[in-house]
Structure 1
Amino acid sequence: MVNIIEELEKLNIKTSKNVYRNLSIPKLIEKAVINGEGVLTETGALDVKTGKYTGRSPKDRFIVRHESINDKINWGDVNLPIEEEIFNNLYNKVTEYISDKELYVFDGYAGAMEEYRLPIRVINELASQALISNQLFRRPTKEQLEDHKPEFTVVVVPGFKCKGKQDGVNSEAFIFIDFNKKMVVIGGSQYGGEIKKSIFSVMNFLMPEKNVFPMHCSANIGKDGNTAVFFGLSGTGKTTLSADPERKLIGDDEHGWCDKGIFNFEGGCYAKTIRLDKDNEKEIYGALRFGSVLENVVINEEGRPDYDDARYTENTRGAYPIEYIPNAELSGIGGQPNTVIFLTADAFGVLPPISKLTKEAAMYHFMSGYTSKLAGTERGITEPVATFSACFGEPFMLMSPYVYAKLLGEKIDKYNTEVYLVNTGWSGGGYGVGSRMRLSYTRAMVKAALEGKLKEAEYIKDDVFQLLVPKEVPGVPSEILNPKNTWQDKEQYDIKANELAKKFEENFKRYKNVPDEIVNAGPISK
């Protein structure tokens, strides 16, 4: 039987107040409301405001530098090093800060597959964040809880503000990951995504050592048992396309791919809610009920959420357990993926709406992680901005992107997996000229890929992007499959295609010691 007080004292955490371990959902909500952390909406969801931090703070996340991991971490602007002395000094201040606080402990797991799951403990200053931890990670059974031994501990103290440079960090907020102490410490930020993404980052470091490919992707499974995974950055349609009424959702964000199949790292979903539509996103809309947590959503006088109001942030969020989704695979486990979909929203309008990738091209585009961010909201800027995020999740990948790309290549070879690049962006011209690809066409293309209808299709190789473009896809007009056909000004298409190809080439120069066959599988500018 776990004695939580003794367990905390081993971490030098002592408090004169109560410590609550794995409280029930109603009790956590009751505590949060009594403590003034949030209010209940008309649907029963708990709405909280996270203050100035309404999203992740990437410049405040550090990895404690140790000799044991020094050569494995891809140090740079994304993975910032911090010395152990700075960690120790701030950790001592944190433990002093919480000595007169009530604490809410969640014991559970990251990883649905037993042999790869990571037992974790999340020590929270706030009941609302203990609720988020409970809903986003995998919850233990009563028997598992009695003998739970965490292998990684997360300490979350949003009320503790440090002194920036004086404390050896960049601001009042900090996120430390220490692999020697097997700890994460989060201070100064109340944004729930820091808890979730810190453990995801830990998993991304630990899993390759076990020959598991960690993925920032959604996944679903068909009635025939065929499993598919969807990679894509924000705005590409990953959540929309993976939420298929004919397929069960395994998970919407973080998975591992091993020799037994794929498995969800999480026990819940952390969905964006800005402009959430009751009809088009009814699964998410219905999930935001009692037991769920809303972050920074505007609530009107009647207690009704206004998902269109972005006064606090565009990054409004809802955290809920996956069982709140009607069509979910509650085991969190699927078979070997038959199909991998890379999603991109190309605002240049030059990438094909669907193309097949060779293994080498798949590794190239995985390391590139391309999409477009639209700059039209900024005065005077009308051109789209090409964005590259390695592995479609660079902020959470602690090792070299090539480490993860090699794992992808090995899985493709071993399980004969088909990989497709799907452009959900513009056609007939770039942003402001062309139009966004119809969702019905994209769904038809994805459906054809998942059902294996493109395996034997006839393909034409694009001479700039070197992509294999199908001549026909069921339910899709053939003329739109070659993007150049949809442009009135063919010369302008060639200019823009060449411009984007150069951006790919320039971005890929940052990768050293990558085999030529992968480099040569990417776009070729003229």
Structure 2
Amino acid sequence: MNTVKQSIFKDLLEHKGIQHNLSVPRLAEQILERGEGILTATGAVRAETGKYTGRSPKDRFIVRDEVCEDLIDWGSVNKPINEDVFNTLYEKVVSYLKDKEKLFHFKGYAGADAKYRVPIQVFNEYAWHNLFATQMFVRPSKEELQTLEPEFTVVSAPSFKADPKVDGTNSEAFVLISFKKKIVLIGGTEYAGEIKKSIFSVMNYLLPQREVLSMHCSANVGQEGDVALFFGLSGTGKTTLSADPYRRLIGDDEHGWSPNGIFNIEGGCYAKCINLSQEKEPQIYNAIRFGSVLENVVIDDKSRNPDYDDTSFTENTRAAYPLENIDNIVTPSIAGHPNTIIFLTADASGTLPPISKLTKEQAMYHFLSGYTSKLAGTERGVTDPQATFSACFGSPFLPLAPSTYAEMLGEKIDQFNSNVFLVNTGWTGGAYGVGERMKLSYTRAMIHAALEGELNTVETTQDEIFGLSIPLNVPGVPDEVLIPKNTWTDKKAYDIEAKALAMKFHKNFKKFTNASQDIKQAGPLYYSE
């Protein structure tokens, strides 16, 4: 594993006020002393991110050079920027940070599996960003810290604003990834999620080249050691459904699937806080305590209690906390090969089956599609559900072509005989506005049946529009709920909605020109010119 010579970070490492791997209490003290955040009644610190309350995808670029030019899937997601622009901006940021009174430095790992983890370091202008990094990545032991040589480096200077006309960026904010220099350069945005997601993008580049499938999913393990993966975009219930009192959590967002099994890429969780309550999501609610970081959550001035229902700053309120704040976890965050893979979708058309078993080819098709309905509240400006497709359920973070990840998934499904299910947590009995959201108790029962192997031999019927195999019986779920058309009063309206959705799948899939004919034919049966 090639590491970057630390001499190129000499100016940062020799900063007169640099603070190396501070403890959580000392970082909390620094945050309060420097006025970067406030202490809340939970013990967490709350920081505000100002103008940028979410990722800034239009400001993310990858340096185009001889190292990665032939590997990157260039386009609207992976936008190129030249080396000269990066080098000049890097020098400006380092010069800017040198004049700061303090600089915060974290060294640790991305990846819980010692064989596949990537040593990283993070230089932060802000103490609260350094606490975020400390909680989100895998912390080294004292012994490991002595010999840890970082392979990849994040340099974060939120207060440094680029001049697009001079610096060649899209705006004042920038997230630049150089795979040649192994540096992520962040500036102009205080949103801490850029640190987490930039390293995830790095892992999505490195791991497939090391025979590891990197995945945007949650994972848990049962009492018998059976492993399950949960893929799903925002609003599909990924976090809620993977948090199971009878199963231990491996991780909630980023994982690698190596020849040895599953491992968590992170050491913490970055949970959405919108409408968070102890009743609905007790694990997350109780995990937000001392050492946690709250982003853009409204805090009562007198009591210092968080108001998770208040969206005054943004709907994208967040909490970052270490995995050990959750009781029911796997330590270390590694497990065997997945027995069951769940693709979650919240279909607002109300036409996809609540659960269906996928063939390998169908699994690859729906993995590449990454379909859900974007719901009100999941993204600014969205008031009515919109069909959305995100390749591999994580398109914004994939430097390589989606087919790379899909082919690896197909190979692993074959090799380890994993069962794959598509689960619709969206609407039933009609589309959004007419039908109703699938009962959580029904969804839990379906997932339980899938995890317990109860659906492996049950009789199925093929959906005539989508071609999916629908179980005719699931314990704890009324039979009539399993066939979407049976739940609709207006059957003609169902056919119109279902065929319209089928055509959206076909239209989206046209961009995957390299997909095999078997995978292309694994999509919806209905097709209209």
Distance across 2 between alignment mates of 1:417 and 1:186: 39
Distance across 2 between alignment mates of 1:456 and 1:100: 67
The aligned residue for residue 151 of structure 2 is: 151
Distance across 1 between alignment mates of 2:284 and 2:380: 33
Counterpart code for 2:94: T
State whether residues 17 and 103 of structure 2, in contact with CA within 8 Å, keep that contact through their aligned partners in structure 1: yes
Distance across 2 between alignment mates of 1:430 and 1:389: 22
The aligned residue for residue 442 of structure 1 is: 443
Distance across 1 between alignment mates of 2:50 and 2:7: 28
Counterpart code for 1:295: E
Residue 197 of structure 1 aligns to a residue in which SS?
helix
- Matches of residues 300-449 of structure 1 in structure 2 within 5 Å? 300-301=300-301, 302-374=303-375, 384-449=385-450
Counterpart code for 1:327: N
The verdict on how the C-alpha distance between 1:159 and 1:439 changes in structure 2, with shifts beyond 3 A counting, is same
- Matches of residues 26-425 of structure 1 in structure 2 within 5 Å? 26-101=25-100, 102-301=102-301, 302-374=303-375, 384-425=385-426
Counterpart code for 2:389: F
State whether residues 156 and 185 of structure 2, in contact with CA within 8 Å, keep that contact through their aligned partners in structure 1: yes
Unaligned runs of 5+ in 1: 1-5
The verdict on how the C-alpha distance between 1:252 and 1:158 changes in structure 2, with shifts beyond 3 A counting, is same
Distance across 1 between alignment mates of 2:317 and 2:60: 21
Residue 234 of structure 1 aligns to a residue in which SS?
coil
Residue 155 of structure 2 aligns to a residue in which SS?
strand
State whether residues 14 and 99 of structure 1, in contact with CA within 8 Å, keep that contact through their aligned partners in structure 2: no
The verdict on how the C-alpha distance between 1:418 and 1:196 changes in structure 2, with shifts beyond 3 A counting, is same
Per-residue deviation, 1:68: 2.1
Residue 116 of structure 1 aligns to a residue in which SS?
coil
Per-residue deviation, 1:513: 1.9
Q: Write out per-residue CA displacement over residues 155-207 of structure 1, whole angstroms, 9 at most, x where no aligned residue.
A: 01101011123310111000010011011011011111100000000000111
Aligned residue pairs: how many?
Answer: 521
Unaligned runs of 5+ in 2: none
The verdict on how the C-alpha distance between 1:175 and 1:377 changes in structure 2, with shifts beyond 3 A counting, is closer
Counterpart code for 2:400: M
RMSD of Structure 2 on Structure 1 (CA): 1.7
Per-residue deviation, 1:260: 0.8
State whether residues 223 and 246 of structure 2, in contact with CA within 8 Å, keep that contact through their aligned partners in structure 1: yes
State whether residues 403 and 514 of structure 2, in contact with CA within 8 Å, keep that contact through their aligned partners in structure 1: no
The aligned residue for residue 3 of structure 1 is: none
Counterpart code for 2:291: G
Residue 108 of structure 2 aligns to a residue in which SS?
strand
Distance across 2 between alignment mates of 1:50 and 1:379: 16
Per-residue deviation, 1:384: 2.9
Distance across 1 between alignment mates of 2:395 and 2:514: 19
Counterpart code for 1:97: Y
Distance across 1 between alignment mates of 2:55 and 2:80: 18
Structure 1 position 511 matched with structure 2 position 518 = no
The aligned residue for residue 525 of structure 1 is: 527
Q: With the length of structure 1 as denominator, give the TM-score of the two structures.
A: 0.97
The verdict on how the C-alpha distance between 1:401 and 1:378 changes in structure 2, with shifts beyond 3 A counting, is closer
Per-residue deviation, 1:362: 0.2
Q: With the length of structure 2 as denominator, give the TM-score of the two structures.
A: 0.96
Per-residue deviation, 1:298: 0.4
State whether residues 47 and 295 of structure 2, in contact with CA within 8 Å, keep that contact through their aligned partners in structure 1: yes
State whether residues 53 and 191 of structure 1, in contact with CA within 8 Å, keep that contact through their aligned partners in structure 2: yes
Residue 366 of structure 1 aligns to a residue in which SS?
helix
Counterpart code for 1:117: R
Q: Write out per-residue CA displacement over residues 352-375 of structure 1, whole angstroms, 9 at most, x where no aligned residue.
A: 000000000000000000000136
Distance across 2 between alignment mates of 1:402 and 1:87: 29
Per-residue deviation, 1:210: 1.2
Distance across 2 between alignment mates of 1:14 and 1:487: 64
- Matches of residues 19-30 of structure 1 in structure 2 within 5 Å? 19-30=18-29
Residue 412 of structure 1 aligns to a residue in which SS?
helix
What percent identity do the matched residue pairs reach?
A: 61
The verdict on how the C-alpha distance between 1:235 and 1:44 changes in structure 2, with shifts beyond 3 A counting, is same
State whether residues 233 and 371 of structure 1, in contact with CA within 8 Å, keep that contact through their aligned partners in structure 2: yes
